[in-house]
Amino acid sequence: MAKAKTEGKSNKSSGTKKLVTIIGVLAFIAIIVVIIVLSIPANTYGAVERLNEASQSSFLENESEKTRYEKSETKIAGSTKNYYNQEVQDIKVLSGSINKILDYYNEYLILADDNKVFSKNYKIIKNNLEDANTYQDEMNNYLIELNNLNDNSDSHLQYLWIDFRQTFSTYLSSITSAIDALNNCYQGCFNNTFTNNLSSTNILNTVDDFLIVISNEFNTLVETDLKNYTQKDYNYQSHGKIILLDNFVNNYIVNDGEITRYYFDESLQTKYNKINSFYQTYNLTNFTTVIESIEDDGKISLTFQQQDTDGIYSTVKEFLGEM
Amino acid sequence: MKKNKILLTILSITMFFTSLTLVACGGNNEGNPYQDFQNSLTTYLADATLFKDGTTAIGSIETNFYFNNFNYKNSEGKIEGDKNYLVLNAYGMNYIQDYSAYLENLEGNYNYSNLQNSLNKLNESFEKIKIESKNIYNADTNANIDIYNGFYANYLDEAKNFINAVYDTAINISNFLIEDVNVLEGFGTDKQTIEQTQFCLDTQVLYVFDDIRKLLLESGEGKQFIGENLYDGAVANLSYFANISTKNVNLLTAEMADELLEKAELLEGERVYLNKALESFSLYEYVEVYESSIESYQKDESNAFAYYTELQKYYSDSNNFLYQYQNFLSLNIYE
């Protein structure tokens, strides 16, 4: 009896040991798997490839797309909906600016450090550029339909233009999100380089601010200019902002001298310290309220109550390219 | 009890191997390669065919390590070979000669293995170039161009390898002196010395020369691409830095020393991305295979344009970083 009891105890004890061993081994394997999974770098190269494609094929980058768009432009100009002309022309300008911005980031992304900032942003870049590409196809389909309109009904023309605008607005939203994420990578994935400095921070953040404002205004236009509405309901306000953005991109992105020379040019350091002091002085985190006040003639209408004794706001207005 | 014995045994073995590792990784002052460096340099200079006797100037750099018979033939006779090789080699060898001397009488425990390894490789490379140098020396001056230049091609290959080994050695010396010996301690403060300033600047120029070496001799495979923007920019910078490197240096203020260090760190930071571009972009293929068409290169390497842009920013654009850096040094640091 005693022996049976002992044997029973021994069996239980050996069974428990086996269970503990199995659990221990499983836990060890689980830890190894977690370590391996965490160690595998995120598939960030997809974002690089996508940006590469986007910068070469963004809206109105290729000639056939441009020709198609200009045909639509001519058709609208010859219709009773020619009050859309400025908007149509500005979309061309805006698309050109977007392409230059994507080109700029395309020169950097492949070299970026594959760190936490990259991991956090590469999917935003990739997914938004892919979405933008889909919307671009839809936009082109609307343009083809518009160009093929046989009837003299300007209503149909208006419907197609409004459909185009709605899709363009969504395209612009996606592009804006992608560019914002690209900016995050630029600032967060290049450690201690000549081209990641206070000037580049201010310039690229300002590009983001411009795009956010313009994108919001197109969203508003989508909501306010509906099918069968007339000119009296049409309130397009982005002309000045698009022109200033285009100038800004040419002056600071295409010609990136103020970024590349920053660390060797004290006058640039002074300039950007001044621009950067705007936020604290006027208790703002970005330039969007300033940009929102840009009028069609390129003038900035926003004023502040406090006096600009140090010339900070005037420096900012000059930086934004006020006409 | 049995369990305790097993644990004790494991502990003992672990401690034994740990101490072995510590001993292996730890420094010891034996094996200071100072004398080996001196012997090697003496051997190099003693070779009558490889280096010209005495001191020779190449541009503003004076050196005892001027490649002899560094020329090729064309229909007009012997033409001096690519000066870039001469300048790069001269500066690198001068650096080794000057700063290996710091190893003499060094006190403290140091790990000299990197220094010794790079010197060994340099010696191996020397043996190979010595042979090719003799071959071209022995080549009949009346031999037809193809024969002569056949020997020259081999000599050029080994010269390229030798220069690569020179820079590997020189950079190991600089790393050793900065990181292990801490020769720049106090630099940027009131305690800094003129010797530290000189060392800091010489080392900065060494790193820049190494950047140019990587483009010309590795990415460009040692070929001359005169008229090619990237090549011309790098060669121009080689000349600027060679020129300023021989100028006198004043004792800097602490603030200026700080600014120098800040710029040096930025260049070091930029170098990380430069090297990424250099790893993936072949200047040789760009010119020879793709006929200097970045669009063609882009068809095979989708990021060619991005790499090319980074290289241009560094070496050849109108505001290229090397030019701006040497301008800063020239205006603020050198006399």
Q: Which residues of A touch B270 (CB under 8 A)?
A: 192-195
CB pairs under 8 A between A and B: 58
Interface contact flag, B310 A257, Cβ < 8 Å: no
Mean pLDDT in residue range B52-65: 93
H-run or E-run covering B56: strand B56-58
Domain ranges of chain B: 30-181, 184-335
- Residue B25's pLDDT is 47
pLDDT above 90 for B294 = yes
What per-residue confidence (pLDDT) applies to A13? 64
Q: How do residues B88-104 score in pLDDT, each as one tens digit?
A: 999 999 999 999 999 99
Task: Return the SS3 of B239.
Answer: helix
Whether pLDDT at B49 is above 80 = yes
Query: Which chain B residue's Cα is nearest to A51?
Result: B303
B317/A192 touch (CB, cutoff 8 Å), yes or no: no
| Residue B244 pLDDT exceeds 60 | yes
* Token output for A96: 């050109």
Smallest CA–CA separation between B325 and chain A, in Å?
8
Do A261 and B277 lie within an 8 Å CB cutoff?
A: no
Q: How would residue B39 be classed by pLDDT, with cut points 50, 70 and 90?
A: very high
Closest chain B residue by Cα to residue A260: B319
A48 and B303: CB-CB below 8 Å? yes
- The residue to which tokens 């940009």 are assigned: A291
Q: Map residue A225 onto helix, strand or coil.
A: coil
User: What is the reported pLDDT for A52?
Assistant: 83
Measured between beta carbons, the chain A residues lying within 8 angstroms of B324 are 260-261, 263-264
In chain A, which residues have their Cβ closer than 8 Å to the Cβ of B313?
A: 194-195, 260
Query: What's the pLDDT score for residue B6?
Result: 67
Does A260 sit within 8 Å of B303, measured CB to CB?
Answer: no
**Has residue B29 got a pLDDT over 70?**
no
| Chain segment B178-230, per-residue pLDDT in tens | 999 999 999 988 888 999 999 999 999 999 999 999 999 999 999 999 999 99
CB contact under 8 A, B266 and A111: no
Query: Among A44, A38, A318, which Cα is nearest to A202's?
Result: A318
Q: Which of B236, B232, B251, B254 is nearest to B327 (CA)?
A: B236
Report pLDDT for B21. 47
How far B28 CA sits from the closest chain A CA (Å)? 35
Per-residue model confidence (pLDDT) at position B128: 97
pLDDT over 80 at B12, yes or no: no
Q: Is it the case that residue B317 has pLDDT exceeding 90?
A: yes
Which chain A residues touch B261 with a CB distance below 8 Å?
Answer: none
Which residues of chain A, if any, have pLDDT below 70?
A: 1-13, 35-45, 151-152
* Cα of A222 to nearest chain B Cα, Å: 37
Query: Chain A residues within 8 A (CB-CB) of chain B?
Result: 48-49, 52, 106-111, 190-195, 257, 260-261, 263-264
Residue A121: closest CA among A137, A133, A108, A135: A108
* Cα radius of gyration (chain B): 23
Q: Which residues of chain A make contact with B211, given a CB cutoff of 8 A?
A: none
Among candidates B277, B309, B328 on the partner chain, residue whose Cβ is nearest the Cβ of A264: B328
pLDDT at B188: 86
Domain ranges for chain A, please list them.
Answer: 1-40, 46-320
Instruction: Name the minimum distance, in Å, from the CA of A309 to any CA of chain B.
Output: 31
Using DSSP, state whether B257 is helix, strand or coil.
helix
Closest CB from B306, B317, B319 relative to A106 = B306
Say if CB A242 and CB A93 are below 8 A apart.
yes
Instruction: State the pLDDT at residue A240.
Output: 98
Nearest in space to A222 (alpha carbons), one of A209, A239, A234, A206: A234
Residues in chain B closer than 8 A to A191 (CB atoms): 269, 272
pLDDT at residue A1 in the model? 47
Q: pLDDT tens, B109-135?
A: 899 999 999 999 999 999 999 999 999
Q: What is the CA radius of gyration of chain A?
A: 28
Per-residue model confidence (pLDDT) at position A154: 86
